[in-house]
Structure 1
């Protein structure tokens, strides 16, 4: 018997399917734009719309549109889903600029946002494991896990593209970006010297190559990613503004409020009050 488990979260919704001897079939239809992130923990899944059909196997992940999709979770399988409103995914577009063009394509009923499924390097599976205990989704899990999970997935799904002969530096820059994104809850990014040692490049070369790939400096990349994460956290109305400031390790609320206003032109409260209304999803 299939066991679907659903749990609403701060800015995305999870759905976890366990099947035993029989497959489980369901249909997804959204009144607006939703993106489905899936991760195959075990077994396999088929999904299709009116024109295309795909198969995902263990440790595969991808993002698909939530417009008139049929999902078939095969027998003896375990699949983890995140249903992400496009408004939330758009909040990552400064850190991952390719998201803008992908969401435009998705409006045309694109089946998959990424052409090929990506095999997880283990980071996403570890974070999914923190969401699930004994087959059930943890209701009171750390709210930051959802953010960490999405970042870990996006880093792998949206790899860097070739840039004017700098392609052989891609693994180093990928590692630097990942490390910076892992520090967005800290007051300061990792030191240039630490990042340089990690990348195996001298500081001047690292600064040059990073900017070549990302069209921004490492400090600016950290600052923008941190502010985007703060913006996304405002969708979690369970957390007070003071709690959000503490989560991002600001020394006090006035410092947090001033930083938000410099970036967004509004106080945290004004910014929260101006957030878009979420779309509706039927499963």
Structure 2
């Protein structure tokens, strides 16, 4: 019949936005979305918006924000430089012991942050496995800005490795094999073929690592302490303000939420 729209299997129009899900699936999906959204909305409802600019521009808030941004950028750079090669090795090689390495690398995902901080302190603290030897050489890491960077890198590294390793496995190696057949050296193949293919995954993994570094609390507090201007990052400042000035803590929390939203949107856009 003229003007009729062709239908696919089941009488649905081609291209219709449906996955053929049973109706009951939407009930737990709505509950899950509410479970995440409701606390955030509750926090936003209690923020003193009229005092927000003043609360965000205090000396302690600006110092904590600046320190968080600097250390998060440094930690993310370390994660990218070290994590990208590690993800390639885990995805493309068959060396013995890689399963153990992968397990250890992903361990910070499930460890409580305080345990991660204790592990770093037991290794790099003044009486730690390596810290005592480093102190003899005049290098003191624990309870310094460097400790903040290491704590952030420790907990955020798995995010980049997991994201990039999955992308490498999904992409396969056919393009690299063709380039190698044409005589390209391994470094050239990596630079001209592999990295351009993996840029979206690298971008999303980098954004996730930065967001995780910016929000790190437990490992930083345990390994680096809370010294204003030295190790007191924005999450630590929020924790301290929660006891003395709850409104300031809410204002600083809104700032972290805004950064997280930007990172999530950027990650989703990069993956698309």
Using structure 2 for the length normalisation, give the TM-score: 0.26
Answer with 1 or 2: which has the greater Rg: 2
Using structure 1 for the length normalisation, give the TM-score: 0.25
Q: Which has the higher contact order (CA 8 A, sep 6+)?
A: 2
Structure 1 or 2: more helix by fraction: 2
Structure 1 or 2: more strand by fraction: 1
